[in-house]
Amino acid sequence: MLENTFLQLSIILLIALGISSIFQLFKQPIMIAYILTGIIVGPIGFAIINNSNNLSTYSQIGISFLLFIIGITLNPEHIKSLGKKSIFITLITSFLSFILFYYTAILFNFSSLESLLLGLGFSFNSTIVIMKLLSDKLELETLSSQITIGILIIQDLLAMILLVVLAAINQGDNIINSLIFLLIKCVITTSLLLLFSYKFLPKITRKIASSQEILLLFSVGWCMSIASIYYLSGFSIEMGALFAGITLSLSPYRYEIIAKMKPLRDFFIILFFVFLGSDIIFSEIANLILPTVIFTLFILIIRPILSIFTIQKFSYNNQTSFLAGINFSQVSEFSLIFIALSIQYKLIDHKILSLITFITFISIIGSTYLINYNHQLYKKLKKYFNFENKKHQKFNINPVQQKTHKNEILLLGYSRMGRSLIETLHNLNTDFFIIDFNPEIIQRLKKDNYNCLYGNINSLEILESINFSITNIIVCTVKDYENNLLLIDYIKQKNPQSVLIMVAHTNNEALSLYERGADYVIMPYHLGGLQITNLLENYQNNLENLIIEKKSHINKILISKELGNSK
């Protein structure tokens, strides 16, 4: 075992680099490569590090930075816009997951406290993994992804509550009194912090934002100072870091802070997962093979199914529910923090950390494939999730009426692009018909007396209810490339003369859609460039008109926000 910290870090980073490069080739989350690095350099590998090493402090810094950035993203305005559905879906799925894992642990003879902590730990999902995979697939703006993000935000809020409860358990035998005392202390500490943040923080950040170096120093110092205050108040450092981020969530400089902090977070978080990997004791897992297998299967299969059926119950269609539910097929990085703190407080045995770390390792690998191939999975499995929710019926108009009603323009998918189109279509005094599979959007459109239909355009039943032969122009804002190719074939077969306008993300997708028969393909990134070009051409020498255009744009954004679009 090496004693020199610098040499240890050098070897750890070189091994992590090699393994991460291999994982990148197979499109696996780098987090798994870090855990595997920990296994290699840990006691069962080359024994380069051990748990008593000073490097463990660096891993705690990494977690603090991670939670700090998560806190910054927990913008209160975004939370308010989530709506009751996200809250209820999260509470129901979390409760069902907890019951499933708690009683399964009891059946495997874990103690009540161990079962409780396992049930809670397995009830959370990985924000980092899900967001990374959805971002790589360019699906962050889809309805299923928006449902997922809403649930993840509520889970992060629940995680904060759990940290308080865990701190209360660590205080002594009388948990209720300890919890009440800690809650009072938490309210006082947080209230003072928020008051300071409201009164003085904007002035401070405004003055230091001009210097990027000082902004970075302030961000690190603020995170660690607030974390230390919470620690001295009887809470965990992790909880303090999370609250430190929340206080900056409304700052106009939050994006600069996140950008500055991310490299530091990424570096220190490597060491956190390396140390988790080094903590895995396979001899302990060898005695828990059956529960390890069962828990892993439940996480990869049963919990996503519970999520799918729960989301369906809230009036979302089968495909949306499936794509959102399949995202919840891994263990959260918070679960590792939660269990690690439980061991630090001497509430449970170390074997639980080995168990949950190993299951995290396996579940994230499996989840990567499930999310990357979610559309293909849906096509193969949709018959098992295909039941019509009665609540959907209230959104629909009679499909026969649509067949006999001539519409000059058919809008497939409302979304943000659809909102901007509505104003233009009104000005043109043009008949149009809207189809969307977000029940909340359909409710809003029906209240405004728009001619609309609730349905998924990927459904043959919905397509057959539309008389494409009497529709002149079809605008499809849906960004599902493979389904759009099939949609072109179907529409052109029904009405070869119709004008079909579609949306694509990449040049290759756009060319393929053109070859298939699309009349025009909109590329958002190209449109952004064209808009900047038009602004420069029209307003370069007339800044007064640019101010007028700015006010008009702000007004449109505010209207869009009132309609429920927070982005």
Which of 460-464's residues contact partners 24+ apart within 8 Å by CB, and which partners?
462/435, 463/487, 463/490
Rounded Cα distance between 92 and 306, Å, is 9
Quick: pLDDT tens for 106-156.
999 898 888 988 998 898 888 777 877 777 776 766 778 878 888 887 887
Nearest to 317 by CA among 454, 442, 444, 210: 454
Q: Where in the chain is the domain with CATH 3.40.50.720?
A: 398-522
Three-state secondary structure along 167-188?
HHHHHCCCHHHHHHHHHHHHHH
Range list for CATH 1.20.1530.20 in the chain: 56-384
Give the pLDDT of residue 390: 47
Q: If you average pLDDT over residues 236-265, what whole number do you get?
A: 83
Beta bridge partners of 409: 432, 473
Average pLDDT over residues 445-459: 76
Backbone phi and psi for residue 453, each to the nearest 5 degrees, phi listed first = -140, 135
Gap between the Cα atoms of 567 and 554, Å rounded: 13
320: nearest Cα among 437, 203, 417, 415: 437
CA 102, CA 66: separation in Å to the nearest integer?
A: 28
What integer pLDDT is reported at residue 405 of this predicted model? 44
On average, the pLDDT of the chain sits at 79
How far is Cα 362 from Cα 428, in angstroms, rounded to an integer? 56
Closest CA to 315 of 449, 415, 456, 422: 456
Mean pLDDT of 533-546: 68
Give the Cα separation of 207 and 527 in Å (integer): 36
What is the C-alpha separation between 230 and 234, in angstroms, rounded?
6
Q: Where are the beta strands (DSSP E) in 425-497?
A: 432-436, 452-454, 473-476
- Burial category of 286 from C-beta neighbours within 10 Å (exposed 0-12, middle 13-18, buried 19 and up): exposed
Q: Where are the alpha helices (DSSP H) in 172-253?
A: 175-199, 201-208, 212-232, 237-247
Helix (H, G, I), strand (E, B) or coil at 452: strand
Tell me the per-residue pLDDT of 183-238, one tens digit each, with 9 for 90 and over.
787 788 888 887 888 788 888 888 887 787 888 899 999 999 999 988 888 777 87
Tell me phi and psi for residue 435, to 5 degrees. Answer: -125, 130
| Contact criterion met (CB below 8 Å) for 410 and 473 | yes
pLDDT tens for residues 319-372?
888 989 999 998 887 787 788 778 877 778 777 888 888 888 888 888 888 988
Of the pLDDT bands very low, low, confident and very high (cuts 50, 70, 90), residue 402 is very low
What end-to-end distance do the CA atoms of the chain give, in Å? 51
Res. 441: pLDDT tops 80: no
What distance in Å separates the CA atoms of residue 241 and residue 225, rounded to the nearest whole number? 9
* 56-384: CATH class: mainly alpha
The pLDDT score that the predictor gives to residue 398 is 42
- In this prediction, residue 394 carries a pLDDT of 44
Architecture of domain 398-522: 3-Layer(aba) Sandwich (3.40)
The percentage of the chain sitting over the pLDDT mark of 70, rounded to a whole number, equals: 81
Closest CA to 37 of 333, 266, 361, 413: 361
Spatial contact of 306 and 93, defined as CB atoms under 8 Å apart: yes
| Range 524-562 burial, b when 16+ CB lie within 10 A, else e | eeeeeeeeeeeeeeebeeeeeeeeeeeeeeeeeeeeeee
| Burial class (CB within 10 angstroms; exposed 0-12, middle 13-18, buried 19+) of 105 | buried
Q: Has residue 419 got a pLDDT over 70?
A: no
